[in-house]
Amino acid sequence: MNCELKRLQQSILKFSHFGKSENGGVTRLTLTQPDVDARTQLIQMMEEINLRVSIDDLGNIYGTYEGKEDLPPIILGSHGDSVEKGGNFDGILGILGAYEVVKVLHENQIRLRHPIVVADFTNEEGVRFGPAMFCSGVLAGVYEEQKIFFTKDRKGITFQSALEQSGFNGLVENRLKDGTAYLELHIEQGPVLEALNKNIGVVEGIVGMNCLEIIVRGQSNHAGTTPMQMRKDPLMAATHLIDRLNDFLRKVDEELVFTIGQFDIFPNLHTVIPDQVKFTFDVRHKSEDIIKKAMTIVEQEINNVEEKTGCAIFRRVLWERETVIFDNSIVDSVETSTTALGYSYKRMYSGAGHDAQFLAKMMPTGMIFVPSKEGKSHCEEEYTSIDSCTNGVNVLLQTVLDLDKKLN
């Protein structure tokens, strides 16, 4: 029993029209019209195969395929929103893959012991409303729900009123409370599987991260009249710091990744020595010890550069996440299912955050990755072949069958 490649291909194609962008990607921000259209389509598909559809007060959609026994459900899900000019696979593949699994069971008239829930979690990307993954985060008790409802988008519309306008403001009692397991199929969003020529990523967890905001303050002055040795230039200090961090952190561990994704310079005028620069410094690794080691180096280098340049350097933690380690029995089941299907695989950690990291606080959780062409994601070029998508859904199906037998 396998998933149907053609049907999966058609449903991916169908959803690629909801928010279609110029160059073949999608812009489907949370609860905007394209997201509403995609949700409506999903519910229609769920109803076609008689799933029991419910929506909670966060707009999360659940389609339940009833089981034979009175057991907590196995949940299969992901997110339907995208970033601006995102791709056709991030998130939506996990939902359509989950749907395909249930469709196959339905077609073959197979009832499992557990109910199977296909879930679409609201606002994973966090583009329209920050922070990312806030609806699964509320379910897991990570985020304060009252704050979440009053979070505003750039136009000043609150999440609460966006929910009301969309019609997807369901009932608090429909919230997902417990489950036997959570499984999320997702594109890798990185280059590793393709480079190693592996079919499947058996995901062991999500790497921890630490994101600092670093502010370097110097002294503004005239770009023409101030001799070099009399300057306190925060940009020069910042680049010196970054250069040293690049040297030292690369030696810590080859799996350590660090990024300066945001950089601002003030006042940003060509005739003025800046008085301040501000940038983010994001460090990720699966081992807390390695992250700690990296942060110690960051501290040391900040002190060194302060001393050397006379600029004041301030830092604060913007965002941190502990490494999430997925449940062994789920990871093993994904691995066994992959092997049984004859696919090659790599056990790996996710460098990106996913709803699964919060669901893991509620129930045993695992993820399945499929390769991303050239590692590209969060862009219109994002691509995963239909064969790879199908492999992923087959692993999802096998894992569900396996867990259904094993777990209570």
Query: Residue 59 or residue 72: which is nearer to Zn ion going by CB?
Result: 59
Measured from the CB of residue 206, what is the shortest distance to Zn ion in angstroms? Answer: 12
Annotated binding site for Zn(2+): 79, 90, 125, 186, 378
Could you tell me the two tokens for 37? 């259209």
Sorted by sequence, the CB contacts under 8 Å of residue 381 that are 6+ apart come out as: 23, 25, 87, 373, 374
The answer to whether 190 and 351 have CB atoms below 8 angstroms apart is: yes
Least Cβ distance, residue 251 to Zn ion (angstroms): 32
The residue (of 275 and 355) whose beta carbon lies closer to Zn ion is 355
Contact 80, 38 (CB under 8 A): yes
Size of the site for Zn ion (CB under 5 A): 2
Give one word for 375, left, alpha or beta, with left for phi > 0 and alpha for psi -120 to 50.
left
Report which residue's Cβ sits closest to Zn ion: 91
Task: Please identify, using beta-carbon distances, which residue of 57 and 355 lies nearer to Zn ion.
Answer: 355
Closer to Zn ion by CB, 72 or 205: give it: 205
Q: For 103, what's the count of Cα atoms within 13 Å in the CB-facing half-sphere?
A: 20
Residue numbers 43-102 binding Zn ion by CB under 5 A: 90-91
User: Residue 189 Cβ, how far from Zn ion at the closest point, in Å?
Assistant: 7
What's the min distance (Å) between Cβ of 170 and Zn ion? 22
Nearer to Zn ion, 74 or 133 (CB): 133
Smallest gap from residue 374 Cβ to Zn ion (A):
17
Rg of the chain on CA atoms, in Å: 23
Closest to 30 measured CA to CA, from 139, 189, 185, 168: 168
Question: Which 178-207 positions form the footprint of Zn ion (CB under 5 A)?
Answer: none
Q: For the chain, how are helix, strand and coil distributed in percent, rounded to 5?
A: 35, 25, 40
Q: How many helices (H) and strands (E) does the chain have?
A: 12, 16
Tell me which residues touch Zn ion (CB under 5 A).
90-91
